[in-house]
Amino acid sequence: MRGTVLYGPRDVRSEELPDPTIVEPTDAIIRLPFTCVCGSDLWPYRGIDEVSEPVPMGHEYAGIVEEVGSEVRNIRPGQFVVGSFFASDNTCEICRAGYQASCVNRQPGAPTGAQAEYARIPLADGTLVATPEVPDEELIPHLLAASDVLGTGWFGAVAAEAGPGKTVAVVGDGAVGLLAVLAARQMGADRIIAMSRHASRQELAREFGATDIVEERGDEGVERIKEMTEGLGAHSVIEAVGTQEAMMQAIRSTRPGGHVGFVGVLHGVEIPGEEFFFSHVHLHGGPAPVRRFLPELIGLIWEGKIEPGKVFDLTLPLEEVAEGYRAMDERRAIKTLLRP
């Protein structure tokens, strides 16, 4: 099959790879009508996460089940399914508490890589959620978005306790930040402040439900949020970047007693204890337990209530994956959709 391999910093290649096969009796093989590039793929692409050997890329997937292992009970060939970047049994105590991304049997969700024509998915019964029917093609990018960026933005909004009566601020205008805006809107937040200085992203943020845009960053951004909230800070702030500056901007933009939900994969971040102690904020986040949210998200997409796939502003053939990475790296594209 055609797949994608990262060899080193900025060296990502479309290649012929072996077709994935059932390895464990709990596996499924799915065919991917679309696939995509994640903002988190840019960490190894940029060399910030070290790449010691060639690695198959892609961890977002939605597609048609081709084959299942002998122990798979709930998923069957022909179904259209959505999964997430960690495979989980969905039965352990951690999964039952809604933290499937920390399942005691956690595995990579698509170990053979999902920027490809096919993918092997471990723990298929626990990991995959089937849609009511096989969707029309135009629905598939929205469902694909549910498998990571939407699920991650959604978790950010849940962790930040976005809801009615709340002012929510979102740090980061990547696909996750934009979908955190959409999530906060769905959860009924009163006011949603998107922090962005890019016109096209501001526009999408407004379309997703942002009521205000703040262009300032760092301490100036914090000051603007305070000015807009009677000096108190937002009730809920979603951190969707993962850098020290973004995390501090999030903590400092939150009022005492408020909630920071952080979903940017933290890189080189140290949270200073004394400042955090006196900030009085709640801090929660990490890898989104997308599986918790998938039934609800699939339902919203199926009913046409949300269109998260709008974050895909560049579509390329799978063979041109390298250009897809470049466009996101240079911020020419929010998120690249790939067509095998």
Q: Is residue 25 within the footprint of its own copies (CB under 8 A)?
A: no
Is 208 within 8 Å of 179 (Cβ atoms)?
yes
**Residues 194-233 close enough to bind its own copies by CB under 8 A:** 230-232
Tokens of 96: 């039952």
**Residues 159-178 close enough to bind its own copies by CB under 8 A:** none
Binding mask 285-324 vs its own copies (x if CB under 8 A, - otherwise)?
A: xxx-------------------------------------
Q: Is residue 85 within the footprint of its own copies (CB under 8 A)?
A: no
Residue partners of 333: CB distance under 8 A and separation at least 6: 313, 314, 324, 327
Tokens of 268: 């080189």
The radius of gyration of the chain's CA atoms, rounded to the nearest angstrom, is 19
Residue partners of 188: CB distance under 8 A and separation at least 6: 163, 164
What is the smallest separation between the CB atom of 294 and its own copies, expressed in angstroms? 17
Q: Is residue 256 within the footprint of its own copies (CB under 8 A)?
A: yes
Q: Is residue 98 within the footprint of its own copies (CB under 8 A)?
A: yes
Only one of the segments 39-47, 111-119, 129-137, 253-261 lies at the binding site for its own copies (rule: CB under 8 A); that segment is 253-261
Tokens of 278: 């006196």
- What is the maximum alpha-carbon separation in the chain? 60
Angle of helix 175-186 versus helix 149-159 axis, rounded to 10? 60
CB neighbours of residue 281 within 10 Å: 20
In this complex, which beta carbon is closest to its own copies, that of residue 276 or of residue 302?
276
Q: Find the binder of its own copies among 16, 50, 53, 93 (CB under 8 A).
A: 93
Q: Find the binder of its own copies among 25, 77, 188, 272 (CB under 8 A).
A: 272
What is the smallest separation between the CB atom of 310 and its own copies, expressed in angstroms? 27
Is 240 within 8 Å of 150 (Cβ atoms)?
no
What is the smallest separation between the CB atom of 63 and its own copies, expressed in angstroms? 28
Burial (Cβ within 10 Å: 0-12, 13-18, ≥19) of residue 278: exposed
Q: Are strands 62-68 and 28-31 parallel, antiparallel or unpaired?
A: antiparallel
In this complex, which beta carbon is closest to its own copies, that of residue 2 or of residue 282?
282
Only one of the segments 112-120, 178-186, 258-266, 313-321 lies at the binding site for its own copies (rule: CB under 8 A); that segment is 258-266
Q: Find the binder of its own copies among 55, 134, 213, 271 (CB under 8 A).
A: 271
Q: Find the binder of its own copies among 132, 165, 268, 304 (CB under 8 A).
A: 268
In this complex, which beta carbon is closest to its own copies, that of residue 164 or of residue 268?
268
Is 338 within 8 Å of 35 (Cβ atoms)?
yes
Q: Is residue 191 within the footprint of its own copies (CB under 8 A)?
A: no
Residues in the chain: 340
What is each CA distance from 213 to 149, 178, 225, 238, in whole angstroms? Answer: 21, 12, 10, 14
Q: Find the binder of its own copies among 11, 15, 24, 102 (CB under 8 A).
A: 102
Q: Find the binder of its own copies among 277, 303, 304, 330 (CB under 8 A).
A: 277
| Closest to 178 in 3D by CA, of 224, 213, 221 | 213
Footprint on this chain of its own copies (rule: CB under 8 A)? 93-94, 97-99, 101-102, 104, 230-232, 244, 247, 255-257, 262, 265-274, 276-287
